[in-house]
Amino acid sequence: MPLHLRKATLADEGAVSRICLLTGDAGKSAEHLFKKPEMPGLVYAVPYLHLDSAWRYVLVETDDAGVEKDVVGYVVGSSNCRAFEADAEKNWWPPLRPRYPKPEDADRDAYTGAELYYLDFIANPALTGQEVLDVYPAFLHINILPPHQGKGWGTKMIRQAALQVQADGEKGLWVGIDSRNDNGRQFYKAIGFEKMESKEGEYYGLDIKKFLDSGRGA
Work out the pLDDT band at 84, boundaries 50, 70, 90.
Answer: very high
CATH of the domain at 205: 3.40.630.30
Mark 47-82 as b/e (b = at least 16 C-beta within 10 Å): bbbebebbbbbbbbbeeeeeeeeebbbbbbbbbbbe
Residue 170 three-state SS: coil
What is the rounded end-to-end Cα distance, in angstroms, of the chain? 20
Q: Distance from CA of residue 215 to its chain's centroid?
A: 23
| pLDDT tens readout for residues 7-47 | 999 999 999 999 999 999 999 999 999 999 999 999 999 99
User: Residue 78 in contact with residue 55, Cβ under 8 Å?
Assistant: yes
What residue numbers bound the domain in which 51 lies?
3-214
**Is 65's pLDDT higher than 90?**
no
Q: How confident is the model over 98-124, as a mean pLDDT?
A: 95
Domain count, the chain: 1
This prediction has a pTM of: 0.95
Q: How confident is the model over 174-198, as a mean pLDDT?
A: 95
| pLDDT for the residue 89 | 98
User: Residue 136 in contact with residue 81, Cβ under 8 Å?
Assistant: no
